[in-house]
Amino acid sequence: GAGVSQSPRYKVAKRGQDVALRCDPISGHVSLFWYQQALGQGPEFLTYFQNEAQLDKSGLPSDRFFAERPEGSVSTLKIQRTQQEDSAVYLCASSDGTVNEKLFFGSGTQLSVL
């Protein structure tokens, strides 16, 4: 596709449920990022992939959060045993990894945990 695609656009989960959020980056982009954005705040870094390698996962808030990109293209962010504090917009971005790196963002998945 022409841009970064995220699905679902909205997700409502009951506390304790597991959720999986999908990101389809721009074709050929080697770098992929996940961010979490709370209402009224800037995006907070979660994790970064270069191709299939997860090079930085220091922003993942707990071991309930897990991300993968097994073939270096589509990525999935999984949250286990969701809590109310996980409610946020989850943004995915990709880039071509060049020196003047520009991030291209998807529209995000809005997660509401009840």
Partner 1 sequence: LAKTTQPISMDSYEGQEVNITCSHNNIATNDYITWYQQFPSQGPRFIIQGYKTKVTNEVASLFIPADRKSSTLSLPRVSLSDTAVYYCLVGAPMNRDDKIIFGKGTRLHILP
Q: Which residues bind partner 1 (CB under 8 A)?
A: 4, 33, 35, 41-45, 48, 50, 55-56, 58-59, 91-93, 95, 97-108
Query: Minimal distance in Å, beta carbon 107 to partner 1?
Result: 6
- Quick one: 36 or 73, whose CB is closer to partner 1? 36
Task: Give the chain's largest Cα–Cα span.
Answer: 42
Beta pairing class for 104-105 and 88-95: antiparallel
- Quick one: 16 or 61, whose CB is closer to partner 1? 61
Output the DSSP codes for 2-23. Answer: -S-EEE-SEEEE-TT--EEEEE
Query: Minimal distance in Å, beta carbon 101 to partner 1?
Result: 3
- Quick one: 27 or 39, whose CB is closer to partner 1? 39
Sign of the dihedral through C-alpha 109, 78, 87, 96: negative
Query: Minimal distance in Å, beta carbon 81 to partner 1?
Result: 26
Output the DSSP codes for 29-85. Answer: --EEEEEEE-TTS--EEEEEEETTEEEE-TT--STTEEEE-TTSS-EEEEESS--GG
- Quick one: 14 or 102, whose CB is closer to partner 1? 102
Query: Minimal distance in Å, beta carbon 11 to partner 1?
Result: 15
